Each structure stands twice: as structure tokens, then as C-alpha cells.
């Protein structure tokens, strides 16, 4: 396949800026860029963050509901305004998404990326639909972001493993330089080095050709996961990325969870069929995504994958 002709962003460690780690008393803004947020789950998440000696600040429209589309947390303009204001507030140290769902692609073009760059680096956390924002923060602001649990996410609120891995990444990132979840298997053996990137498969496929998505995964360690998709749809997304040349030159692939998809043997056969031919190391069940105990993966940090050992070793901590 022929790679896209658009220039590929630099993939050296220096190309993305690591935000500062959090300290006790840090102010963290909670935003809802995608779907509506259940108030009781948000309340539980806020209590958990306060237990970490953080000061959570809820953005004005987090509990909104769009009047016409009940899958959105308020209007596109209001969701964008919340994120913009939180990022540009100098007293805020981190921006945590409340949940995923759908909606980022409707609001991301409303953000003022010049102002976001001028405000400087901050910690940003989320996954699922938030994949589109991970891409945007990488390409438009040059920032390392955290693919991790969200403040009102069920799996986060009920799982100590997810909580502790995110807490360690935020406060003591040097303690999680090596990520080695139990139960991993090498679909394709070997070692690979590259810049971590990726997220939800369907979002990466739909970001193709959009101004905030990167033109290629070349030189990267690509993390893929998804939820609630039929096998033929997963096939479609992977085939689209392959046909577009987006996977040309990828260094290695980490596969996370495939919750609420077909039985895993069927999904595994598809992943093998579509990805093994790339000839790069591929490791499955790497512990991130829509699952209990989901681990936090820093996108934008250079790392080494050992598919046989099931380990990912970061060149440097996720946060400064």
C-alpha cells in the first residue's frame, strides 16, 4: 500500500511536550465533551478525586442534556466552551473527561487551538470517544495526553486497579515506567520502539482526512481497542486504515479490550487476519480500554514494546 502524501508529524520524543505531574491540592477541571453524565456517578468520582487530595472543579455544562439529541451532553458550543475555559484557566492543572459516548467530533472544530497552545501544557485524561481529542492535542498542541479512566466511568469508580494506576501516573509517574498487564499474548512476536498513539478503533478510522487527525501511524506503537462493535464493523475500520495507508510503517501494535463485541475468538481471528500481515510485533489483551481495571497509557511518549514478554517500557515518565 502507498502511504499518504501528506507530511508525517515528527515522532521523536522531543516532538511532544510532557505536562507537569500533579501534586496534592492540584485543581482538576471535569468536562463532558461527549455524552451525558449521570449525576450520581459524577458525585462518586468527585469524592474519589477529593480522596486523592485533589480539588475537582466541575465545568458549568457537565450535567447538561442536549434538547434535541439525548446522546449529547449539552450543545456543541457549550461543551467546547467548557473545555476551552478549563484549559485556559491558569489555576487549573489538569482536565479530566467525565465520560465518553459520542460528541467530540461535533465540538473539536470549535476549540481555539492557538489559545490552547498559548495556555501551555496540562494533564488531559480520557478514552473512548475522547480519542478524537487525543489526536487533536497531539497534532495541534504537541502534547502528551493520558488514555485512561474517566471521572464518572463505571469501571473507574468500581475498580481499585484502574484507580491506582491512574493515581500513580498522575502523582508518581516514574513508578509506572514499565506496564506489564497479566494475561497478554503475542499475536506476532518481537520487539518494537515508537511513539505511543491510538485509542478507539472506530474513532481513528473516522478521523481519516480530518484536520485534527494525524496522517499516519508511521513510526508509532499503535494502541487499539473498541466496544460494542460487530465483527464486520471492526473489519471495516481496520480495512479502511489499511487501504488508506494509515498503518504503513507502524512499528508495533498493542491491542486492548473488545468489550460487548463478538466472542473473543472471533475478534481475535479478525485482528490476526488484518494485522499480522504488517509484519510488526502485535500483543493482545494489554489491559487498556473498555474493561475493568483499565490501565492508563501515555500517548506521545516513546516506549519499547516486548510482545513476547508482554511489557511496555517508557523511555521517560509520562509526566514531568
**Percent helix, strand and coil across the chain, each to the nearest 5:** 35, 20, 45
Q: What's the mean pLDDT in 67-78?
A: 96
Q: Does domain 14-173 have CATH number 3.40.30.10?
A: no
Q: Is the dihedral of CA 169, 317, 249, 185 positive or negative?
A: negative
Catalytic one of 61, 134, 147, 290: 290
Catalytic one of 128, 216, 251, 257: 128
Cα–Cα nearest to 118, from 102, 141, 134: 141
Q: What tens digit of pLDDT does each residue of 112-136 get? A: 999 999 999 999 999 999 999 999 9
Supply the pLDDT for residue 142.
Answer: 96
Pairwise CA distance, residues 148 & 137, whole Å: 15
Supply the pLDDT for residue 15.
Answer: 66
Supply the pLDDT for residue 261.
Answer: 97
pLDDT band at 155 (very low <50, low <70, confident <90, very high): confident
Tell me how far apart the terminal alpha carbons of the chain are, to the nearest angstrom: 38
Catalytic one of 135, 225, 229, 284: 225
Supply the pLDDT for residue 183.
Answer: 92
Residue in the block written with cell 472544530: 109
CATH class of 177-314: alpha beta
Q: What's the mean pLDDT in 287-299?
A: 95
> CA-based diameter of the chain, in Å?
51
pLDDT band at 3 (very low <50, low <70, confident <90, very high): very low
Prediction pTM value: 0.93
Pairwise CA distance, residues 305 & 311, whole Å: 6
Pairwise CA distance, residues 148 & 170, whole Å: 11
pLDDT band at 8 (very low <50, low <70, confident <90, very high): very low
Q: Is pLDDT at 10 greater than 60 in this prediction?
A: no
Whether 28 contacts 62, CB under 8 Å: no
Q: Is pLDDT at 293 greater than 50 in this prediction?
A: yes
Q: Is pLDDT at 170 greater than 50 in this prediction?
A: yes
- The question of whether 66 is a catalytic residue gets the answer no
Whether 313 contacts 304, CB under 8 Å: yes
b/e map 42-62, b = 16+ CB within 10 Å: bebbbebbeebebebbbbebb
Q: What's the mean pLDDT in 239-254?
A: 98
C-alpha cell at 278: 504488517
- The question of whether 67 is a catalytic residue gets the answer no
Domain ranges (residues) in the chain:
14-173, 177-314
Average pLDDT of the residues of the chain = 94
- The question of whether 260 is a catalytic residue gets the answer no
Provide the percentage of residues in the chain whose pLDDT is more than 70.
95
- For helices 231-243 and 264-275, angle between their N-to-C axes, nearest 10 degrees: 10
Supply the pLDDT for residue 79.
Answer: 98
Amino acid at each position: 500500500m502507498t502511504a499518504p502524501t501528506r507530511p508525517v508529524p515528527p515522532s521523536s520524543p522531543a516532538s511532544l511536550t510532557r505536562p507537569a505531574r500533579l501534586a496534592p491540592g492540584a485543581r482538576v477541571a471535569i468536562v463532558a465533551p461527549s455524552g451525558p453524565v449521570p449525576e450520581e456517578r459524577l458525585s462518586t468520582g468527585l469524592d474519589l478525586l477529593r480522596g486523592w487530595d485533589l480539588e475537582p472543579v466541575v465545568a458549568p455544562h457537565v450535567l447538561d442534556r442536549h434538547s434535541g439529541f439525548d446522546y449529547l451532553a449539552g450543545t456543541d458550543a457549550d461543551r467546547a466552551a467548557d473545555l476551552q475555559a478549563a484549559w485556559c484557566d491558569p489555576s487549573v492543572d489538569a482536565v479530566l473527561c467525565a465520560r465518553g459516548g459520542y460528541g467530540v467530533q461535533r465540538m473539536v472544530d470549535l476549540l481555539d487551538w492557538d489559545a490552547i497552545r498559548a495556555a501551555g501544557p496540562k494533564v488531559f485524561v480520557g478514552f473512548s470517544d475522547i480519542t478524537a481529542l487525543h489526536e487533536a492535542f497531539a497534532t495541534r498542541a504537541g502534547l502528551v495526553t493520558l488514555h485512561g479512566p474517566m471521572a464518572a466511568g463505571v469501571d473507574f469508580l468500581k475498580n481499585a486497579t484502574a484507580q491506582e494506576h491512574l493515581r500513580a501516573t498522575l502523582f508518581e509517574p516514574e513508578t509506572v515506567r514499565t506496564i506489564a498487564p497479566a494475561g497478554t499474548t503475542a499475536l506476532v512476536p518481537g520487539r518494537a520502539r515508537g511513539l505511543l498513539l491510538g485509542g478507539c478503533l472506530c474513532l481513528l478510522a473516522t478521523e481519516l482526512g480530518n484536520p485534527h487527525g494525524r496522517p499516519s501511524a508511521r513510526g508509532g506503537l499503535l494502541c487499539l481497542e473498541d466496544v460494542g462493535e460487530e465483527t464486520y464493523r471492526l473489519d471495516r475500520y481496520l480495512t479502511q486504515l489499511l487501504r488508506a495507508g494509515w498503518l504503513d510503517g507502524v512499528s508495533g501494535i498493542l491491542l486492548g479490550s473488545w468489550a460487548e463485541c463478538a466472542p473473543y475468538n472471533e475478534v481475535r481471528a479478525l485482528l490476526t487476519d488484518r494485522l499480522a500481515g504488517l509484519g510488526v510485533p502485535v500483543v493482545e489483551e494489554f489491559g487498556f480500554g473498555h474493561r475493568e481495571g483499565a490501565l492508563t497509557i501515555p500517548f506521545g511518549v516513546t516506549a519499547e514494546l516486548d510482545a513476547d514478554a508482554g511489557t511496555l517500557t517508557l523511555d521517560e515518565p509520562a509526566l514531568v
